[in-house]
């Protein structure tokens, strides 16, 4: 072997590695497609998506479709919805269909429906073309021997406004509350069981694109545990439990943009509810202590809030300006 060729071989290998890395981080083909489709997106933006673990194809292709349909979408909001676990392509397709059908469907409402676990595209389709559901035949025989066969046909039309409905929740200083939700950085939402916490979690999920996470203690029965997890995920976004919960919470708050964690600060100890503490020493292993240490570690702020029933199915949402745990 000619040892004088080793530098040349090393240089060639280095160049190959650079080319492979460039092709991976910079989807040139996608960039060219976007360019000729009238979508101006920089190579730096595509590289940033790769670094943020966002698949550029899941963002740019729907953006091209939206642009061709005459819709103006923000690429940052599309990335945020992708990171929150949403289906960007399906949301964009629903927006295009709604625009063609003259249905008032905004980006915020469409993403809220999607994150709530509902099929936003199917909702638009059913809103335009109602479904006709036919029940199975039901037969019965009367005493006189006459047989009666009944079939029911039900026409179903989706009402998009009812999928995410804020009329039942009156937010005190709604503009200020929304500004907090739209703000930067991770957030830990604090409430209590008596504050209608399940409805509260569903409301905040529908009001923001922040990826949510809740912790719960599953029952011993596996079937009940599965049902509970599915229910929690429907209005929290994500629900975890078990030994890996602590690791999952830390990963959620540090790796997802503007992540939110729900914590119920009241807890039962020695057959007593330890919230408020009423002068008792704060337990080092309690929910309040854990929330405080976690917030300081990840740089999250606290958002205390609760729902108070006013009349029937109507509530007032009370909230406190975010608290900095470093103070």
In order, the DSSP letters of 149-208 are: EE--EEEE---HHHHS--TTEEETTHHHHHHHHTSSS-EEEEE-GGGTHHHHHHHHHHH-
Q: What is the pLDDT of residue 65?
A: 92
Q: Per the domain annotation, does 124 fall within a domain? A: yes
pLDDT for 95: 92
Let me know whether 213 and 138 are in one domain.
no
Q: Quick check: is 326 in a domain?
A: no
Whether residues 283 and 264 share a domain: the answer is yes
324 occurs within a structural domain: no
d(CA 216, CA 226): 12
The verdict on 121 and 171 lying in the same domain is: no
**209 and 262 part of one domain:** yes
Q: What are the DSSP E strand ranges found in the chain?
A: 131-134, 138-141, 147-150, 153-156, 169-171, 187-191, 212-215, 239-240, 260-264, 268-269, 272-273, 301-311, 314-319
Both 114 and 227 in one domain: the answer is no
- The reply to whether 176 and 155 lie within a common domain is no
Q: What local confidence, expressed as pLDDT, does residue 63 receive?
A: 92
137 and 97 in a common domain: no
Q: What is the pLDDT of residues 300-327, one digit of tens each?
A: 999 999 888 887 778 889 999 999 988 7
Domain boundary among 105, 128, 151: 128
Give 69-97 pLDDT, tens digit per residue. Answer: 999 888 888 888 887 778 899 999 999 99
Domain that holds residue 154: 131-160
The total of structural domains in the chain comes to 3
71 shares its domain with 207:
no
To which H or E segment does residue 224 belong? helix 222-236
Q: Are residues 14 and 107 in the same domain?
A: yes
pLDDT value, residue 28: 77
In a domain, 237, yes or no: yes
Identify whether 325 is part of a domain.
no
Describe the chain by its helix, strand, coil percentages, rounded to 5: 50, 15, 35
pTM score, two decimals? Answer: 0.52
Residue 327 within any structural domain of the chain:
no
Counting Cα atoms < 13 Å in the Cβ hemisphere of 185 gives 17
Low-confidence ranges of the chain (pLDDT < 50): 1
Residue 323 pairs with which residues in a beta bridge?
302
User: Do 159 and 127 touch, CB atoms closer than 8 A?
Assistant: yes
Pair (122, 137) in one structural domain: no
């Amino acid at each position: 072997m000619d040892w004088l060729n080793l530098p040349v071989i090393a240089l060639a290998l280095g160049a190959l590695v650079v080319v492979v890395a460039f092709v991976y981080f910079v989807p040139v083909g996608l960039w060219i497609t976007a360019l000729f489709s009238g979508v101006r997106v920089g190579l730096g933006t595509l590289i940033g998506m790769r670094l943020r673990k966002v698949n550029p194809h899941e963002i740019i292709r729907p953006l091209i479709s939206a642009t061709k349909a005459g819709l103006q979408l923000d690429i940052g909001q599309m990335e945020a919805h992708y990171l929150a676990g949403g289906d960007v392509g399906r949301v964009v397709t629903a927006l295009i269909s709604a625009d063609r059908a003259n249905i008032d469907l905004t980006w915020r409402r469409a993403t809220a429906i999607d994150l709530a676990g509902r099929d936003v595209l199917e909702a638009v389709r059913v809103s335009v073309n109602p479904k006709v559901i036919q029940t199975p035949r039901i037969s019965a025989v009367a005493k006189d021997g006459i047989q009666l066969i009944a079939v029911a046909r039900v026409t179903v039309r989706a009402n998009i406004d009812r999928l995410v409905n804020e009329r039942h929740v009156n937010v005190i200083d709604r503009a200020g509350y929304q500004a907090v939700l739209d703000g930067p950085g991770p957030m830990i939402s604090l409430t209590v069981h008596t504050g209608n916490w399940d409805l509260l979690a569903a409301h905040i999920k529908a009001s923001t694109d922040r990826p949510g996470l809740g912790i719960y203690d599953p029952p011993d029965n596996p079937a009940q545990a599965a049902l509970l997890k599915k229910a929690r995920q429907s209005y929290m976004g994500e629900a975890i439990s078990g030994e890996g919960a602590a690791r999952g919470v830390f990963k959620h708050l540090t790796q997802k943009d503007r992540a939110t964690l729900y914590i119920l600060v009241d807890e039962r100890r020695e057959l007593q509810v330890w919230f408020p503490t009423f002068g008792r020493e704060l337990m080092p292993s309690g929910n309040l202590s854990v929330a405080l240490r976690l917030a300081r570690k990840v740089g999250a702020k606290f958002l205390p809030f609760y729902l108070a029933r006013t009349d029937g199915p109507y509530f007032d949402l009370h909230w406190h300006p975010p608290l900095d745990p470093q103070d």
